Amino acid sequence: MGLNVIMMGPPGAGKGTQAGRIARERGLLKISTGDILRDAIKEGQPEALLAKAKMDRGELVDDPTMIAIVRQRLLRQDARKGVVLDGFPRTVAQARTLDQILDERGQETLVVVDVVVPEAELVRRLASRRICSNCGTTADPSYLEPACQKCGGKMVQRADDNQGVVLERLKVYHRETKPVLEYYRKRPTFRAVNGAQAPDIVARELDDMIDDARSAGKVR
C-alpha cells in the first residue's frame, strides 16, 4: 500500500524542511507546487505555460490548471510508491481531486499533518529567512553560507519578508486553508504537530504520527 503525506502549515512553519526529510528517509517522492510548475514549464506542458502566463500577469493559478499539472505528475511511475506533498492541496476542490487521483491508483494511504506554530514565532523566523535568487530554494535557518546548496545561486532575503507583509500573508493563509483543514480534520489519518519545537523533536513526533496514522487500518 502506497504512503502519501500532505504537509500543511503556514509560511515559516518548517514544513518544507520536514517534507524533504520524510521523503528521503522513507524513499518517497517530494512534490512541491513550485517545483512542479518550474519543471512543467521547462517541459513545455500546455497547462504549465498557461499557469506561467497567469503568474506573469500577477494572477493566481486557477484550480483546473493546477489540478491538471499535479495530476500529470502524480500519475508518473516514480510517484507510484508514494509522495510527500508540500503546497498542495490549497483548496477543497484540489483536495477532492487528490482523493480521486489516489483512488485511481488503488489502495493508497493518505496522512495529513498540520504543522502548528504561534504567529509571533512565524514572524521571527520569516524575518531571517533566505531563499536562492536562482532556483527559489529556501535555506534551513542554520545554513548561513552565501551560496545555495542546491544550485550555487546567491542566497537573498525575500523582499516580502517584513513584518507587515508577513502578518498579511499569514492572515490570508489561515483564511484560505481553514476549509481544507476542516475537510481533512475528522479523518483517522489527520494529525497536528507542534512545529515550535526543535527540528529534531518535530521530526521524531512526525515520524511517530505518520506510523500511527498508517497503522490505523483505514486508507482515508
> Which of 169, 187, 214, 220 is labelled catalytic?
169
Strands (E), the chain: 2-8, 29-32, 83-86, 108-116, 130-132, 155-157, 190-194
Pairing status of strand 155-157 against strand 83-86: unpaired
Which residues, at least 6 apart from 215, have a Cβ–Cβ distance to it below 8 Å? none
186 among known catalytic residues: no
Query: Cα torsion for 134, 122, 164, 139, to the nearest 10°?
Result: -10
96 among known catalytic residues: no
> Which of 26, 52, 158, 220 is labelled catalytic?
158
> Which of 52, 71, 80, 129 is labelled catalytic?
129
218 among known catalytic residues: no
Strand partners, 194: 116
> Which of 15, 125, 130, 191 is labelled catalytic?
15
90 among known catalytic residues: yes
Helix-helix angle 46-56:63-74, to 10 degrees: 140
Provide, for the chain, the percentages of residues in helix, strand and coil under a 3-state DSSP scheme, each rounded to the nearest 5. Answer: 50, 15, 30
> Which of 90, 125, 130, 191 is labelled catalytic?
90
73 among known catalytic residues: no
Which residues are tagged catalytic? 15, 90, 129, 158, 169
